[in-house]
Amino acid sequence: MKYRSAFDIIGPVMIGPSSSHTAGAARIGRVARTLLGKQPQKAIISFYGSFAKTYKGHGTDVAVVGGILNFDTDDQRIPTSLNLAEEWGMEVIFTVEETVTDHPNTVKIQLFDETKKVEIVGISIGGGTIEITELNSFQLKLSGENPAILVVHNDKFGLISSVTTVLADHEINISHMEVSRKEKGKMALMIIEVDQRIHDKIITELEHLPNITQVIRMVE
């Protein structure tokens, strides 16, 4: 794989022992938490490949839960995250899956609160770097590092142009964009990574566009 800087190799400041199995796992958990927008009542965490074989020894379990509790990679509370989750009223269930995946460090996280469920699949690709490859059965590619928004919308003519026009009006440069849908004319998803911070005013403007059902700011 291609590295963008030395920090992709040596990894971020973190609670160890492994940037792939702990820092990356914590970041995936934190992305799931961001998508739900709050601490969940219940988390089902499914490990695949290398994660499934070593998650206890490498601290992947405490790292993912720490991320779901909104801890950063260097938070000293990560080793105690399982106890804190129980103390704070979050049920945690771990499963080990034998299904072969495209990447050995794969985890599926399902989060539940009273009215909402979020399901993501993420991979830890080394040095604390991650990719989110699936959200609520939508296929995508999201790094979780750059400023980004997810736009849930009805699949209607001209809507992509309306969203990009709003961003252009605010001089927001798009670095990466994907659009996916489950069925023609039904629910669709835009993943937009940008170079600048996306302010609240822009989010509000996007939310008021016709046929937009939800705008989620991933990274500020």
* CATH number of this structure's domain 9-142: 3.30.1330.90
Those residues with Cβ within 8 angstroms of residue 102's Cβ, 6 or more apart along the chain or in another chain: 123
**Annotated domain spans of the chain:** 9-142, 148-219
Give dist(CA 157, CA 207) in Å, integer: 17
Model pLDDT, residue 18: 56
pTM: 0.77
**What burial letters (b/e) apply to 18-48, b meaning 16+ CB within 10 Å?**
bbbbbbbbbbbbbbbbbbbeebbeebbbbbb
CA angle at residue 131 from 127 to 135, to 5 degrees? 155
- CA–chain centroid gap for 80, Å, is 22
Those residues with Cβ within 8 angstroms of residue 158's Cβ, 6 or more apart along the chain or in another chain: none
Give me the tens of pLDDT residue by residue for the chain, a chain 220 residues long.
Answer: 343 443 343 344 445 445 566 888 999 999 899 888 899 999 999 999 888 888 888 889 999 999 999 998 889 999 999 999 999 999 999 999 988 777 888 999 999 999 889 999 999 887 778 888 888 888 888 776 778 898 999 999 999 999 999 999 999 999 989 898 878 888 899 989 999 889 999 999 999 999 999 898 876 5
* CATH number of this structure's domain 148-219: 3.30.70.260
Give dist(CA 160, CA 164) in Å, integer: 6
